Amino acid sequence: MRLMHPELGELLPKDFLPLVVELGQAVRLDRWRIELMAAQRVHWQEAGGKLAKLGLSLDVSMATLDQSVADRRPLDVFLRGLNLDLSWLCVELDERAFIDQAAEQMHLLRRLVALGVRLAVSHSGHGPVDIMRLASLPVSRVTLGRGVADAIRQPDTPPARGLEALVRCLEALQLEGVVTGVSTETQRKVAGCLVSGFVQGDGVCEALEAEALTAWLDAGD
């Protein structure tokens, strides 16, 4: 998510999210983003085309899972109120916060999965991945931060082999792996081959508006 400031120009999440959290508005922002994505999804479905087939992923604050905030409507109740098939939605949460609070929120997490929502864990890309804890969570995807891509400079090197070993562990748990921050051709080839083609970054495609994304998808046929 990016915001346009009249004086500062484009703001990245790191530029404004700390203030949002400080003001206690993280839950409101997350739910507004979900509503915006849902409306966009409906528009794409009505228009037809390739965008209507895309899944959408949204990283949210763990506070969004807190059932005592946001008019006391749990997230699953809020999502049911959208009256949409939710199989296109993937909710992504920070790995450490997810693991620390999973036991407390397990019933809610399972209700989200029952609605068709996919859950993803976001790992920073630095430090070990807690495979044993991930095995106990109702998640279907692990997103690896740009630290993983930054370490890959050549194929068949320790970082590349380490990624391959990690992906084998994820596959054994039936988890998808996504490498983010891919900026070079080498990173794209290594990560793309090892993680079922799920890669993200300017080395794959820069952030695009819907019309430009449609053209990019068409050009890839």
Work out the burial of residue 45: count CB atoms within 10 Å of its CB; fewer than 13 is exposed, 13-18 middle, 19 or more buried: middle
CB atoms within 10 A of CB 117: 19
Single-letter code of the amino acid located at 67:
Q
* Tokens read off for 130: 């807690």
For residue 109, the model assigns a pLDDT of 93
For residue 196, the model assigns a pLDDT of 58
Task: Give percent of the chain with pLDDT exceeding 70.
Answer: 93
Q: What is the mean pLDDT of residues 174-195?
A: 79
- Domain spans, the chain: 1-122, 140-221
Judge whether residue 114 has pLDDT over 80. Answer: yes
The CATH code of the domain at 1-122 is 3.20.20.450
Judge whether residue 81 has pLDDT over 70. Answer: yes
Q: How far apart are alpha carbons 178 and 191 in whole angstroms?
A: 8
Task: Give percent of the chain with pLDDT exceeding 90.
Answer: 22
The single-letter DSSP state of residue 202 is T
